[in-house]
Amino acid sequence: MNQFKVAFAVALIAAGISGFYLFGDLPTVVRLLVILAGLGAAIAVMRTTPVGQEAYSFLKEAIAEARKVVWPSRKETIQTTGIVFALVVVMAIILWIVDFSLLWFLKIIMGRGD
């Protein structure tokens, strides 16, 4: 029975997408509502299956964990961005010096140096 529900949910999504193209003469808002109706109906059907219930509990736990995240303040974000930018500039200078030194060294080894 659960496999039938899953197949029916997939068919509802396909029907919503098909409706989007079948009602091509209607405004885009209406066509998007057709897709959302198919998706909503598919979610409602999937919610009654064990797979859907597991997915729902996983989503609920993920949202609870996301609420526990402490986001940085604006000041912390600007400071961190500044540090990253400074590190990139320093690394670019170091790599330029290494590249220039290797080029100079190779010119001397090949006898083309000044």
Tens digits of pLDDT across the chain (114 residues): 788 988 898 899 999 999 889 988 989 999 999 999 999 999 899 888 888 899 899 999 999 999 999 989 999 999 999 999 999 999 999 999 999 999 999 998 888 765
Task: Answer yes or no: pTM beyond 0.85.
Answer: no
DSSP secondary structure, 92-114, as one string: HHHHHHHHHHHHHHHHHHTT---
Q: What is the C-alpha to C-alpha distance for residues 36 and 18, in angstroms, rounded to an integer? A: 12
Q: What is the C-alpha to C-alpha distance for residues 10 and 4, in angstroms, rounded to an integer? A: 10
